[in-house]
Chains A and B, each alone.
Chain A
Amino acid sequence: MTPVLPPAFPETTFVLVLVLLLMAPLAIAGVALINTGLGRSRSAAQALLGNLAIVAVTAIAFALVGATFAGTTGGGHIFHAAGKPWNWLGTGPWFLSGLSSAAPQAQLGMLFEFLAVALAAIIPWGSGADRLRLAAGCAIAAVLAAVVFPLAAHWVWAVDASGGWLAQLGVNFSLGAGFLDPAGAGVVHVLGGLSALAVVWIAGPRRGKFPQGGFATAMPGHNAVYILFGCLLALAGWVAFNLAGAVLWMHAPLASLPVTAINTLLSASGAVAATLAVTRYRFGKPDASLCANGWLTGLVASSASAAVVSPLAALFIGIVAGIITPLLVEVLELAVSIDDPSGAITVHGAGGLWGLIAAGLFAAPAGQLTAQLVGIAALLGLILPLAYLLFWLLNRAVPFRVDADGERIGMDLHELGGGAYPEFVIHRDDSYR
């Protein structure tokens, strides 16, 4: 079968997607606020500055290197096996040359990817909170934007004639509509969550988190207002991402967009309601930070599924996401000794995986679930080992972890020379032993 080129955008669609993409940075702002609020007060300025620096570094690294390999419009490296083309790496123009004269759709796709890679790169930063050096956070972001993200983005979002191999699973292997991930549940969130796991494995836990012969020390986030306001900001950004992704990568008709937006809201709502109920049942009172994590997990799951499922299915997907969140956060911390202050491995990693599976379960075409499973296998089986290997090498050149004294006095004083809240008393670290 010959792959079908996407239809050209009418002007109204172009304007709508552009406006949506101008709203999408709210998702980045929301996640940045959540990352900051879930860390400690003496690292708050470094955490938020880190988010800003990471957005900047990813933009530069993606423009210089990553966009070429993401190559969503410029063809790709293709090998043939079993009589099928496997387009595995982009060959776009270097340094964004010719972008201004490219088709409007290609320009919007590139803008979408710039925002998506920034969102993916701030996810591991939240997991490494309170011990990850600013330089290390930027280096991790540069590697993600230049190497790891472009691979996955090309596989899923390449819209040229041959298309990425995951996007073409439907054409080449009769697997539904190919791997469905219009707003980046896999490309952004699973990738970010797996990178967070690799970073946490390499950097280790915060000092005093897991004492010898005792339970994990509770280190609650320092500002619930940041966390919960971040959730509301994230909703606006997520709706924009989901709608823009549906139009750009699935060529969804404009008439279907209100349902996609409603599905996004339903997924988040179901998730936060479920987390609220689970934490109320387990702890006697609802837990604010876990509820925020549940809300975000619902949004992450909607990234894959909102454009392809019914409202009832979106609600169900959210409820499952909300039940998984508090349980998995607890398992990772207490049973597996993983110190993940922002809960990113659960929220983005597990939430993204669930969203991808759910899209396969509830989307109509036959073989869609198998296509989703193949995509998950690619992310889990290639991206995690690749990210771990690259970060392990990077840690030799740019040590991830701050020294013990820096961790004790806080990242703000150690790295920036001043705190985020200079007029407030910062309590000493009782958990430092």
Chain B
Amino acid sequence: MKFAGLLVMPAGFFLTLSALVLFPPSNAAARTGFVLCGLAVEALGLVVSVRGHMEAEAKNRP
């Protein structure tokens, strides 16, 4: 689960990059929105990784 979350994070980054390429500077609001979507995907990946860590930690407690 931790690895799955970490794999999602680069996907969010590429979404952010695509915002720069897809939207012209004149459409700043859409571009910023798309960048935020990329960051949200990264945050989702981080949350999944953290959840994976918590589950593994709970199993390994002495």
Interface residues of A (CB under 8 A from B): 81-82, 169, 173-175, 201, 204-205, 207-208, 210-213, 336-338, 366-367, 369-370, 373-374, 376-378, 380-382, 384-385, 388-389, 433
Closest A residue to B36 using CB positions: A373
Does the CB pair A376–B53 fall under 8 Å?
A: no
In the complex, what distance in Å separates the CA atom of A384 from the CA atom of B48? 14
Q: Chain A residues near B61 (CB, 8 Å)?
A: 210-213
Interface of B is mostly: helix
In the complex, what distance in Å separates the CA atom of A29 from the CA atom of B6? 33
Q: Chain A residues near B7 (CB, 8 Å)?
A: 385
In the complex, what distance in Å separates the CA atom of A84 from the CA atom of B52? 39
- How close is A124's CB to chain B, nearest CB, in angstroms? 16
In the complex, what distance in Å separates the CA atom of A360 from the CA atom of B50? 27
> How many A-B contacts at CB < 8 Å in the complex?
88
One of B14, B25, B54 near A336 (C-beta < 8 A): B54
Does the CB pair B25–A377 fall under 8 Å?
A: no
Size of B's binding interface in residues, CB under 8 A: 33
A337 and B39 in contact (CB under 8 A), knowing A377-B12, A381-B16, A385-B9? no
Interface residues of B (CB under 8 A from A): 2, 6-7, 9-14, 16-17, 20-21, 25, 28, 31-32, 35-36, 38-39, 42, 45-46, 49-50, 53-54, 57-58, 60-62
Closest A residue to B45 using CB positions: A381
Does the CB pair B62–A377 fall under 8 Å?
A: no
In the complex, what distance in Å separates the CA atom of A338 from the CA atom of B28? 38
Closest A residue to B32 using CB positions: A370
One of B42, B53, B54 near A380 (C-beta < 8 A): B42
Q: Chain B residues near A374 (CB, 8 Å)?
A: 16-17, 20, 35
Q: Chain A residues near B62 (CB, 8 Å)?
A: 207-208, 211-212, 433
Q: Chain A residues near B39 (CB, 8 Å)?
A: 373, 376-377, 380
- How close is A95's CB to chain B, nearest CB, in angstroms? 32
Which 10 A-B residue pairings sit nearest by Cβ, starting from the closest? A381-B13, A174-B25, A377-B16, A82-B21, A337-B57, A212-B61, A385-B6, A381-B9, A381-B42, A370-B32
